[in-house]
Amino acid sequence: MEERQQGSRISGFYKLHIEDRLNELNQRVELSVEEFAALRGSPGLRLDQAEHMIENVVGTYALPLGIALNFQVNGQDVLVPMVIEEPSVVAGASFMAKLVRAGGGFSASATPPEMIAQMQILDVADPPSARLAILEARQELLAEALEIDPVLKKLGGGPRDLEVRIIEASPIGPFLVVHLIFDVRDAMGANALNTAAERLAPRLAELSKGRVHLRILSNLADRRVARARCTVPLDELAFEDFSAQEVRDGIIAAWAFAAADPYRAATHNKGIMNGVDAVVIATGNDWRAVEAGAHAYAARNGRYTSLSAWGKDDQGNLVGSLEMPMAVGIVGGATRVHPAARANLKLMGVESAARLAEVIVSVGLAQNLAALRALATEGIQRGHMGLHARQVAIAAGAQGEQIERLAEQLVNEKVIRIDRAQEILKSWQR
Ligand code: MEV
């Protein structure tokens, strides 16, 4: 059998035709013909598959799928599929992964996959006594929750703990909230959690002498957190007229802005989510859940702030870290139903939800670095110019090889406007 190539570095990948890019992937990862077809989006998600996913289906909706290169997470290379409509994100992640690679790659970790199911109990006459009654029945309740999902039980997952909170100040007065802590293994876990919450409700009503109202998971998955760290060697930071120190200190000052100001933190964290969401979507996971968790976590100390941190080590290298909830799975839901999500998981070679979470948080950190590096130096617009110029060239009517040529001229002239593009096209036709 032909030796497979290894690793996440593929030089000149961006210059290749799409078929050749797929061939490069083919040399690295063993995917079937059907899996490659799923990546290309042909047939992608079939209508009959879509019909089983949501209601009132009339079609499917496509987005670009790109591969971010150069990623090394915990010493292992990984090809990163990203689904996103925004230009520069895939290129930015790949470029930053290259700089980080020079410093040893990303170190990442994930906590055990423990999620929280919430049960709200109303009409409790004596909240402190009800709280104790529930806590006294902790073993019984956990044992009941363990029997709910035999598959999870067999895999070593299941209930871990029970917490009872009294919410004193609310618009309807005091009530109880029970948290069931549940290890969902390699699943995102929403179904297991919601089922468990519903199943425990009648017994909780008896124990508390109250009425169980909401029974639903919490998206503030603060017990299922992923963390990534990276070091960028100082020398890697210099470019054009910008010195390495200037770039490093500029990035740290940009982070300080986000750490101190919620208006900036929202945009800063949006940049992180450009990377995070793109992989979450590519792998068929619930990006709204991850978004909700991220922003709630960013505000967990009462003031919304940056999810990442940047500084320097004692040798002057740039160091960054990111910590955020990461409720993603590799089994269940769309991760298995959507053919491209399945192929993407295989392309990444991830065999646990924890590894997927570690890669995703590393991509988030890379994306954050890409944005801060650009903002702290030349500004964000320059990197967008080439792609923007191509879009303007297409809109002006350029075709085939004209597109690149026209885009290049628009960038050189620093006038990226459709009227100028049309003028140039006309001059070529004379
Ligand atoms: C754009 O999609 C993301 C940025 O605004 C992030 C940031 O400002 O850090 C560039």
pLDDT tens-digit readout, 329-370: 999 878 778 999 999 999 999 999 999 999 999 999 999 999
Neighbours of 365 (CB within 10 A): 31
pTM comes to 0.92
Report pLDDT digits (tens) over 271-318. 999 999 999 999 999 999 999 999 999 999 999 999 999 999 999 999
pLDDT at 83: 97
Return the residue whose CA atom lies nearest to atom 6 of ligand 1.
Answer: 271
pLDDT at 1 over 50: no
Closest residue to atom 7 of ligand 1, CA basis: 268
Residues 96 and 245 in one domain: yes
- The domain of 240 spans 32-106+228-378
Distance from the CA of 267 to the center of ligand 1, in angstroms?
A: 6
Pocket-testing residue among 263, 375, 381, ligand 1, by greatest number of atoms within 8 A of Cβ = 375
Alpha carbon distance 161, 17 (integer Å): 53
Q: How far is the CA of 239 from the centre of ligand 1 (A)?
A: 20
Is the pLDDT at 2 greater than 70? The verdict is no
Res 380: pLDDT: 80
Whether residues 132 and 175 fall in one domain: yes
Q: Among the listed ranges 249-253, 300-304, 364-368, 380-384, which one has the minimum average pLDDT value?
A: 380-384
Mean pLDDT calculated for residue range 221-248: 97
Q: How far is ligand 1, taken at its centre, from the CA of residue 271, in Å?
A: 4
CA 109/CA 93 separation, integer angstroms: 19
Query: Does one domain contain both 42 and 83?
Result: yes
Check which CATH number belongs to the domain holding 161 and give it. 3.30.70.420
pLDDT above 80 for 43: no
And the tokens for 132? 């104790």
Q: Is the pLDDT of residue 102 over 60?
A: yes
CATH number at residue 408: 1.10.8
Same domain as 124, residue 102: no
Domain assignment of residue 233, yes or no:
yes
Of 106, 51, 95, 47, nearest to 69 by C-alpha is 95
What integer is the mean pLDDT of 230-245? 96
Q: Are residues 197 and 118 in the same domain?
A: yes
* Number of domains comprising the chain: 3
